[in-house]
A and B are shown apart, each in its own frame.
Chain A
Amino acid sequence: MHQVFFWIFASVAVGAGLLAITRKAALHCALSLVVSFVALAGLYFQLKAPFPGILQVMLYAGAIMVLVIFVIMFLNAPEEDPSEKISKPGVIASVFLLIPFAALLIGVILHSNLPVPAAVAPDFGTVASIGTRLFGTWTWVFEVLSLLLLAALVAAVLLAKKRLD
């Protein structure tokens, strides 16, 4: 049963990811990306890590993709412009350029001697375990990270502001 679910989620995620980079209409790409994110969340759920899974749906598939779609609609780019057709020689050239990298990557993966991951704790990926780690063991790291986010936020406001006086 696990195997079946894994292959369903994995193939949907990869298929939707491929659609996201091949479709021409920007909104189609965005929606395929949503599907891909939801399938990834399904994989997280299957690993019994519900919290990352829910965050995946809520933040990426929900909030961020709605923002992306919002931007796409506001820009309203002209879709399927015939002059922007992908040229065949370009595709062939890029595939040939890709082959050495792919060979390198596959070789490294095949020859690497990665340790077999130990079984995770039963509370892995639950809200409680992440919460106690985040606010117990790693409180100060968390606070420093939140400072970083705050700095990014202030920077965003500063950039969005038209006049600086």
Chain B
Amino acid sequence: MEFFTFVGWLLDNPDAGFLPKFIGVAAAWAVGITVFVSVAALFFVWLERKVSAHIQCRLGPMEVGPHGVLQTLADGLKLLAKEDIIPEGADRFLFALAPILAFAGTFVSFAVLPFGPDLVIADLDLGIFFLAAVGSLEAIGVIAAGWASNNKWSLFGSVRAATQVVSYEIPMGIAFVTVAVVAGTLSLNGMVESQNGMFWNWLVFRNPFMPIVFISYYIASLAECKRAPFDLPEAESELVSGFHTEYSGMRFGIFFIAEYAAMYVVSALAVVMFLGGWYTGIAPVDAWVAKSALLANLVGAIVLITKSFALVFLQMWLRWTLPRIRLDQMMYLCLKVMVPIGMVCLIGAALWQGIAGVPADLMGDSQRPAFPVVGSISGLVCFLVATVGGWIWVRGAIRGTKSYQLANYKS
């Protein structure tokens, strides 16, 4: 049973040399992940400024280092040197604990997030559940931060964060279940392995419902990392800076790093679930790379991180393009639009999977589709029915909204 091999090994082998080995492995992973998270966060902050600047026809940071690449490092030093203020009347214990909780929630996700075929701390056979579980723990840190600050704006921010969590988690969970149904596993490594071969074997192209599921997951993931258009908990134009208004110095810095690490986590998860993980999507290249374990891990890590960074760039692009939506609009979108669409996609994907089976050219897979033609035709019918039905329903839903009626009234 492939479960938490590391902990199993830890508990079952208390023999000689156990402690040094345990400390060695744990320290190696912890240091590696910490370095990766810090460097990625530094890079993302710089990238965010550059992307925002270029979208707004500015240059962004240019002074520190070539094209300002060292700007975040300078800012980090500034944050380290700043005074750490705990406001009067704040709940001191929770105030200190909240950034740690938020950071730990994100950091723990890396325990199951693979970087390459063997580059994963624990290949849990319920990896995706694990991520869903720790994701909600991170939100508790954010909520505690706002509540402990003894500040109205912070409290508003954390109420919004709580509202957002109960809204986006449902469509996200449905997306997870759909992916699990199609991939046939809950393990993240297993999911990637079910996508080998050419890029049309990637889960996002597996059947007509998967692109919709991907978009739905992506929207929910934007809400999870509190990115625009879902940056309601920190909405700086309304709530000063929301749940972390009262935080200064490195406590704020930890929130900042946690947010950028969360951006990487959700993007890497999207890559693992939908975009082929560490596979390049060109079957001969993957087959050639897989001959050597070292090469497979190296190339795999580069491919996976590149894809994830591309999705992070997309998040930034969206942030500087879209306006923030209101809280009620966010709830409407998550609960009344994405949940029904996700349900339709779940049923459709399950039907398609049952009828069409897995692609024939998956490497080393014994489970071949029985009637690919029949599957494709029935799947097409399913897709058409779902599209037409969905279109009629979405139109009805939009016509029911107040803003639509207002717009019609004015014209």
Using a CB–CB distance below 8 Å, which chain A residues touch chain B? Answer: 1-2, 5, 25, 27-28, 31, 34, 38, 45-46, 48, 50-51, 54-55, 57-58, 61-63, 65-67, 69-70, 73-74, 122-123, 126-128
Contact yes or no, B144 A31, CB < 8 A: yes
Q: Which of B126, B132, B169 lies in contact with A51, CB distance below 8 A?
A: B126
Indicate if B125 sits at the interface (CB-CB under 8 A).
Answer: yes
Given contacts A1-B10, A74-B159, A27 and B136 within 8 Å (CB-CB): no
Q: Which residue of chain B has its CB nearest to the CB of A131?
A: B186
A140 vs B154: C-alpha distance in the bound complex, in angstroms? 49
- Interface: B155 (CB within 8 A): yes
CB-CB under 8 A for A70 and B162, given A27-B144, A31-B94, A50-B4 = yes
**Can you name the residue of chain A whose Cβ is closest to the Cβ of B158?**
A73
- Bound-complex Cα distance A50 to B133 (A): 12
Q: Specify which chain B residues have a CB less than 8 angstroms from the CB of A66 in the assembled complex.
A: 136, 139-140, 143, 162, 165-166
- Encode contact with A along B132-151: 1 for CB under 8 Å, 0 otherwise: 11111101100110010000
B 1-39 to A, binary, CB cutoff 8 A, 1 in contact else 0: 101100110110010000000000000000000000000
CA A58 to CA B137, docked complex, whole Å: 8
Residues from chain A with a CB closer than 8 A to the CB of B163 are 70
Query: B313 contacts the other chain (Cβ, under 8 Å)?
Result: no
Contact B140 A73 (CB under 8 A): no
A2 contact set on B, CB distance < 8 A: 11
Whether the pair B169, A73 counts as a contact (CB closer than 8 A) is no
Q: Which residues of B contact A (CB under 8 A)?
A: 1, 3-4, 7-8, 10-11, 14, 91, 94, 124-126, 129-130, 132-137, 139-140, 143-144, 147, 155, 158-159, 162-163, 165-166, 169, 186
Question: How many Cβ-Cβ contacts under 8 Å join chain A to chain B?
Answer: 86
B133 contacts across to A, CB distance below 8 A: 54, 57-58, 61-62
Report how far A65 CA is from B130 CA in the complex, Å.
17
19 A-B residue pairs with CB within 8 Å: A27-B147, A38-B137, A45-B7, A50-B4, A50-B126, A54-B133, A57-B134, A58-B129, A61-B136, A61-B137, A62-B132, A62-B135, A62-B136, A65-B140, A66-B162, A69-B140, A69-B162, A73-B155, A73-B158
Cβ-closest chain A residue relative to B11: A1
Q: Do B125 and A58 touch (CB < 8 A)? A: no
B114–chain A nearest beta-carbon distance, Å: 18
Contact A57–B137 (Cβ < 8 Å):
yes
Judge whether B137 and A5 touch: CB under 8 Å: no
Specify which of B3, B94, B136, B165 is in contact with A126 (CB 8 Å cutoff): B3
Chain A residue at minimal CB-CB distance from B132? A58
Distance of A137 from chain B, by nearest CB (Å):
20
Interface centre among B143, B159, B166 (most CB of A within 10 A): B143
Contact (Cβ within 8 A) B126 A127 = yes
B147 touching A73, Cβ below 8 Å: yes
**Which of A27, A31, A58, A70 has the most chain B CB atoms inside 10 A of its CB?**
A58
Most-contacted residue by chain A among B129, B133, B135 (CB, 10 A): B133
Which residue from A25, A46, A57, A123 sits with its C-beta under 8 Å from B1?
A123
Q: Contacts of B10 on A, CB cut-off 8 Å?
A: 1
A58 touches B1 (CB 8 A): no
Residues of chain A within 8 A of B147, CB atoms compared = 27, 73
Residues on B with C-beta less than 8 A from A70 are 159, 162-163, 165-166
Known: A31-B144, A50-B124, A54-B126. A62 touches B1 (CB 8 A): no
Shortest C-beta distance, A25 to chain B (Å), equals 8
Contact check, B137 vs A54: say whether CB atoms are below 8 A apart.
no
Residues of B within 8 A of A127 (CB): 125-126, 186
The answer to whether residues A63 and B136 also contact, given A31-B94, A48-B3, A70-B163 and a CB cut-off of 8 A, is yes
In the assembled complex, the CB of B155 is this many whole angstroms from the nearest CB of chain A, namely 7
* Chain A residue with the shortest CB-CB distance to B8: A48
Rounded to whole angstroms, the CA-CA distance of A18 and B140 in the bound complex is 20
Minimum CB–CB distance from B113 to chain A (whole Å) comes to 16
List the 5 closest A-B pairs by CB distance, nearest first: A62-B136, A58-B133, A70-B162, A57-B133, A54-B129
Which residues of chain B have C-beta atoms less than 8 A from A55's C-beta? Answer: 129
Q: What separation, in Å, do the CA atoms of A51 and B132 have in the docked complex?
A: 13
Q: A45-B4, A70-B163 are in contact. List 15 more A-B contacts (CB 8 A).
A: A5-B11, A25-B91, A38-B137, A50-B124, A55-B129, A57-B134, A57-B137, A62-B133, A62-B139, A69-B140, A70-B165, A73-B143, A73-B162, A126-B1, A127-B126
* Chain B residue at smallest Cβ distance from A51: B126
